[in-house]
Chain A
Amino acid sequence: MKLWHKVYLITLAVSLILTNVGIFLVFHTTYQQNLEQEKTRAEAHSLLIYTSINNNMVYYEQRGVLDQPFVRIIGRNHGVYYNNQGVKIQIWQGEDCIYSTDAKIKWEDLQYDEAARTTTLFDKDGEKYVFVTQRFDTKEEYVFCYQQPLTELQQSWDRLVVIYISMSVVISLLLAIFLGVLLQRLMKPIAVLTDAVIEMQQGNYESRVALKGNDDIARLAANFNAMAETICENVKEIRQENEAKQRFVDNFSHELKSPLTSIYGFAEYLQKSNASKDEQVECLGYIMEESERLKKMSYVLLEMEKLHTDGNNIEMEECDCNSIRETVQQEIRMDLERTGVELEWQMSSRKVCGNRMLLEVLLTNLVRNALRACADGGTVRISMEENSIRVQDNGCGMAPENVKRATEPFYRVDKARSRKDGGTGLGLALCRQIAEVHGGRLLITSRVGEGTTVTFSKELGKDNKLYKEDSV
């Protein structure tokens, strides 16, 4: 059963009970009071009549003429007179009724005490009476009975009861309706909130609650919205990471298949065909080249994995820029000779802070990329500062879509040429990781036909945009 049903039923039941019981008690008490008043009034009235008859009875008894017919006469005189006021009297001798305005009342109906006046309420056949019985002061036992029917009181009370009941019904209905509406209004925000939660549980992370007001439920709704926002972002992030991982796995398996196809293919070819010696040498050469490619790829991937897991424990020191420059120059000597490109070094600082080997790898990769981008005779400008390293070339440049994906593992702009150069497609991915390990970022700007600039800087925090569409 819903919460608000429970609240509703309990509240309704309690208030109805209380109201009705209250009203009932009030009525009842008033009624009793009225009855008491009637009794008192009747008693007073009866005293009046009693005294009158009593005087007569005593007087005539003293004269010795009081006999039943005489009593009857006295009774009748008073009875007829007071009957016009609606009062009935009876005179009893022993258990015989000598006179009675109304014959309905029997001796058993009366309560009689010889010593004192007795006032009682009596109900016969739905008619209520006040009886007052009193012994006359005569020597003989004569009893006076005063009877006041309470018809008027009865009728007015009956009318009141009807009014009471109908009022009670109306009030109960109104209360039920009002309470119902009120509670439903109050509970509606909860229903709205519940719906939003269900939406979210079914996978719609965009569901939000629009609730106005300052009460508890509105606050709950606001907090729910905030929580939903966080969940939404987290889910987005997780999805993106997952997609990136999936892409990596796809690319990686593709990158594996090609060398393996070559290696297996040429080996099978040499085995099954009657190849000439020259052809054998050629094919074996291809096998070795592809194996070399696999070796390089696995090495770089291992390096990247090490950086990924061990990134926080890398040793940093003050590295001498010149010695880094010498190492890099030595590494790329062959590529440099082949392409005839000019290298320009701009050292603004003596020292750079970081891990020496990693910085060398980073710089070597960036310079190699730059050399590859340049046609014969281009220029590559390398600048080293205390917290950043920049490599700028005026080679072929990259389109914006390529810039965005440049640091993705295995991503290449020109696949065929890159493979010919012995590239793995992992260079920039590794550089990015090295940058991150140093607490910095890689920034790539490029224009087709004009050249590319890659900057590694520790000052680029997480708030900076990573890639720009236009060149700097």
Chain B
Amino acid sequence: MANILIVEDDIHINELVKRNLMLVGHRCTQCYTGRELVEQLQKEYYELILLDVMLPELSGFECMEYIKNTPVIFVTAKGALQDKLKGLSIGAEDYIVKPFEMLELVARVDVVLRRYQTNEQIFQLNGTTVYLEQRRVEVNGVEVDMTPREFKVLEALIINKNIALSREKLLELAWGYDYEGETKTVDVHIQKLRKKLDWENEIITVKKLGYRLEART
């Protein structure tokens, strides 16, 4: 998917972010200081930079001067309103406060990448091709009919691939925050997707947690 640079001085958190993003299919490079960031920028082109504000020597805000043409998301423990405002006013695309949930990180990264149209628009798995932008699905070359809701569920599974999604979360992602219905409808839709896309083994049921689309590359 996308080439992402992670700049975070805490080793464990850096590792955490990397694993999360790799899970959903991105390629990640890690660095731990502002200086390393500048070096990396000269070596390679990145489609997104995740930047910690509190770095030794060069602060995240100061690093922004070296970053051109690449979207930046600030990841930091400083959650006060004025810090957020400062970050956004400097030119960041978004501002995530630690501690954060996996799904939140994945979703925000996805939103920014989509804004810059660097996200994959085509997803393929075991003979099935999903055209995310055109909202079309082909199984073994043959187009398959999908209801808008089914497609929404499918999209949620794809964006958060390899991550177990609870029924409540799927409800939230595909039906919206205001939906007051039962989670049974999620099960029904999952069943339909499995049948239509021949993904009985790809969409697996995770006990007590929910569903997960297995798409390891």
Contacts and interface: CB of A to CB of B under 8 A. Distances in A.
B86 interface: no
A282 to B, nearest CB: 9
Given A261-B16, A266-B16, A289-B12, A272 B102 contact: yes
A269 B212 contact: no
A260 B98 CA distance: 9
Interface residues of A, number: 26
Contacts of A420: 11
Interface in A415-429: 415-416, 419-420
Interface string B1-44: 00000000111110110011001000000001100000000000
Contact of B98 (A261, A266, A274, A283): A261
Contacts of B15: 286
A254 interface: yes
A271 interface: yes
A414 interface: yes
Given A257-B98, A261-B98, A268-B102, A416 B11 contact: yes
B23 A265 contact: no
Contact of A257 (B33, B99, B212, B216): B99
B10 A262 contact: yes
B57 to A, nearest CB: 9
Contacts of A419: 10-11
A254 B77 CA distance: 6
Contacts of A258: 10, 13, 77, 98
Given A265-B102, A274-B214, A415-B56, A257 B77 contact: yes
A415 B78 CA distance: 16
B162 A416 contact: no
A470 B144 CA distance: 77
B100 interface: yes
B56 A290 contact: no
A273 interface: yes
B137 interface: no
A273 B215 CA distance: 11
B164 A271 contact: yes
Nearest to B97: A257
Best-buried of A260, A279, A415 by chain B (most CB within 10 Å):
A415
11 contacts: A254-B54, A261-B100, A265-B13, A265-B102, A269-B19, A272-B164, A272-B212, A273-B162, A415-B56, A416-B32, A419-B11
Given A272-B102, A415-B9, 12 more contacts: A253-B77, A254-B78, A258-B10, A261-B16, A265-B20, A265-B102, A269-B23, A272-B209, A274-B214, A416-B10, A416-B33, A419-B11
Shortest Cβ-Cβ A-B pairs, 7 listed = A261-B99, A272-B164, A262-B12, A257-B77, A265-B16, A261-B98, A416-B9
Interface of A: 253-254, 257-258, 260-262, 264-266, 268-269, 271-274, 279, 283, 286, 289-290, 414-416, 419-420
